[in-house]
Amino acid sequence: MLAKNGALDQLLKTMVRSNVVDAFKAIPDKEIPASLKEDLTKRETINAIFEGEFGKRLKEKTLNSIIKPALLQGADLSGPALTKAQDDIKNDVVVELVNSSRFGTKLVDYSIEKSLKETGWFTKFVGKALYSKDAFVWSNLKTTPSGQAAERFIKDNVLMPKFQGKKMDPAEEKKLMYQAEEMVTQAVKKYSDEKKGNK
C-alpha cells in the first residue's frame, strides 16, 4: 500500500533531504558556502536521485528489509537487524548522492575551482607562462584522465566519509585535500603538454 500510493517514495525523499541538511550543518560556510548548500538541498535536487533504476531498487530494498519486517513481523525498528538495514540504505543513498552530477560533482567542482582561484598571483603568472593559458580552468581539466582521477579521489576520500557521518581528523582531511591538489597540478601540466603537442 505504501509503495502504491507514493507514501514510501515521499518518506524516503524527506529522510534523505533531512540527512543531507544535517550533514551540511556540520560543514562551515567558509568550506561550502550557504548558497551552494541551499542549492544542493533543493527538493528537485534530492528527488532527482530517485528517478530511474536506483530509486526503484531503493524503494524495494526499504520495503523488503524494513517496512515489511516492522509491520508484518513486528520487528523492532531499533533492533540490530533493522538498524543495520537502515544503515545499509543510508549508505546506498550517500554513494548515489556523492556520485550524482547534481550533487557530488557540483561539490568537487566548487572545491577545485576555489582552489584554482586562490592560487597566488605570482604562481598563476608563472604557471600561465609555463603552461597553456586555459590550463587553470577546471571545466577543461575535468575531462582529462588526471582531472577525473582527482574528482574520484575527492569523492571517495573526502565527500563519502563526510556524508556517511564519519568524523574526520582535520589534519588528515588537510592531507587528503593536499593530495587532491597535487593531482590537479598534474592535470594542469598534462593538459598543457597535450595542448602544446597538438600545435
Q: Tell me, what's the pLDDT at 116?
A: 75
Residue 139 pLDDT exceeds 90 = no
Q: Which pLDDT band holds residue 153 (cuts at 50, 70, 90)?
A: very high
CA-to-CA distance for 15 and 28, rounded, in angstroms? Answer: 22
Instruction: Report the 10 Å Cβ neighbour count for 47.
Output: 15
**For the chain, what is the domain count?**
2
CA-to-CA distance for 24 and 161, rounded, in angstroms? Answer: 13
Say yes or no: 98 and 6 in one domain. Answer: yes
Q: Which pLDDT band holds residue 130 (cuts at 50, 70, 90)?
A: low
Number of Cα atoms under 13 Å in the Cβ half of residue 125: 3
CA-to-CA distance for 115 and 157, rounded, in angstroms? Answer: 17
Q: Tell me, what's the pLDDT at 115?
A: 78
Residue type, 57: R
Average pLDDT value over all residues in the chain: 82
Say yes or no: 118 and 164 in one domain. Answer: yes
Q: Which domain holds residue 172?
A: 105-197
CB contact set of 69 (below 8 Å; sequence gap of 6+): 75, 81, 82, 85
Q: Which pLDDT band holds residue 129 (cuts at 50, 70, 90)?
A: very low
Say yes or no: 26 and 64 in one domain. Answer: yes
Q: Tell me, what's the pLDDT at 95?
A: 92
Q: Give the model confidence (pLDDT) of 71-128 as tens digits.
A: 778 778 788 888 898 889 889 999 999 999 989 999 999 988 887 777 654 354 444 5
Residue carrying the nine cell digits 566519509: 161
Say yes or no: 48 and 132 in one domain. Answer: no
Domain end among 77, 102, 127: 102
Say yes or no: 94 and 114 in one domain. Answer: no
